[in-house]
Amino acid sequence: MTSVDTVEHPGASDPDYAKNLQRATLASSVGSALEYFDFALYGLSTALIFNLLFFPQGDPAMATVAAFATFGVGFVARPFGGLVFGRLGDKLGRKWVLVITILLMGGASTLIGVLPTYSQIGLWAPVLLVILRLLQGFGAGAEQAGSTVLMAEYAPVKRRGFFAALPFIGIQAGTLLAGVVFSLISLLPKDQLMSWGWRVPFLLSFVLILIALFIRAKLRETPTFVELEKHDQVQDKPVKEIFTKGLPGVIVGIGLRMAENGGSYMFQTLSLAFFVSVVGKNADKGLLAWGVSLGSLIGIFSVPLAGAISDRVGRRTVYRVGAVFMLLYSFPAWWMLSLGNTWLAVIVIAVGIGIAVNTMLGPQCAMMPEMFGNRHRYLGVAMAREISAVLAGGLAGVLGSYIVAVSKGDWLLLAIYMATLALITTCSTFLVPETLRRDLLRTDDAVKVSRSETGDGVEATTQTITKVDA
């Protein structure tokens, strides 16, 4: 079965289309900025502050592992949030679900800024931190999937890769803002940083919530979901469908995300903890955080560029280049981090985030929504993104910090770990068909399982997609 896009966009004839495309881009970008501001900030704080303030200090190394465990808890909650809100997004529409998730995610992040510490309330401090981290992850579980689907469904077909990547500038902006803010507060005297300075960035989340709510309240529903409603094709049981017909796409999507998501959090958080273990307490933590900031600054340009290139040469090609680059970069990167040179570490982290990770993120923005049919697209993207977030990003912090603790900072083990994630993603690019310019009104998935007519059982088949210039 073949199909082509024969129309530029379902909403192209609407005189308000350009205005709504701009509004959708802004709404998605602000939400992405808030999510990644919170997560990057939490990651930076995990390695350098939370391990000291929220956990007993009998064994500092194990306190760091425990702190990263709370970081991982947020990832555990994300698939459940994606399941709940992804289902609602496919039944009720994309717009209002994104309003709910921004409130839940941003509200939890703001409350972290007012939590009492271990010295004030004992074991209740880590308990409350875990609860808020769970709520933060639950809301984030559908936020990024919703932003991805929203922009892919709004974007013009021939430039879908570029437009779908634009909101992910919000990811870079949020991560950049977190890195800059953290670097600035690190300039405070240690007693002020540990007493009140670390709280300020979390409290700033409230400002981003207000901005996001104002924009999203005026957003119109996506043209593709409007078409579903018009033809009475809204799926009543998207959960059942995604774990049957849509399961192959979810599995491949998880594989595609292992290097991008896992590599991102290894460079953003684990690299800092590893560097501190190498250099010791005298490590310049504020300066080191500039590596994350610089990588995010590069990403503001590299993400939309990678998305635009994928509009010309295909999603898989660009994605595969990013995965292979990370595979080759893993060993020299962690070896250079082990040398203990702060400026070299800043460059290593910046290249890892800005080039390796974001070369995959650029085409992913359009590729993920193109992989799933219209009736369960939101849920499919959410499940692929958030299950992989547990297996890649969440596990990277816990397992990585444990490796650092028990191996006394053996860089080779961390390099092997990152290379394994990159290898999984590289292999996954061979399991998905090219999705460039796929019609998003289609209800079937790009990756699917059909029953063999030869009696050999069930075999995986990929759908041929014919590409034409609109």
DSSP-assigned states of every residue in 436-457: TT--TT--S-SEEEEE-TTSS-
> Of 238, 284, 265, 260, which Cα lies nearest the Cα of 378?
238
Q: Specify the pLDDT at position 462.
A: 42
Residue type, 328: L
pLDDT score of 366: 93
Assign 282 to helix, strand or coil. Answer: coil
343 vs 288: CA distance, rounded Å: 8
Distances (CA, A) of 131 to 42, 73, 112, 125, 413: 14, 9, 10, 10, 32
Phi-psi region of 452 (alpha: psi -120 to 50; beta: other; left: phi over 0): beta
Instruction: Tell me which residues of the chain have a pLDDT lower than 70.
Output: 1-17, 47, 57-59, 61-62, 228-237, 280-283, 285-286, 449-470
* Beta partners for residue 448, in sequence order: 461
Tell me the chain's radius of gyration from C-alpha atoms.
21
Residue 466's pLDDT is 36
pLDDT of 468 = 34
pLDDT at 208: 75
List domains and CATH numbers for the chain.
17-222+231-448+457-462 (1.20.1250.20)
Q: What is the pLDDT of residue 457?
A: 36
pLDDT of the residue at 5: 43
- pLDDT at residue 232, rounded to an integer: 57
pLDDT tens digits, 373-406: 888 888 899 899 888 988 887 777 778 878 877 8
* Direct distance between the N- and C-terminal alpha carbons of the chain, in angstroms, rounded to an integer: 20
The SS3 call for residue 236 is: coil
What is the model's pTM? 0.77
Predicted pLDDT of residue 235? 58
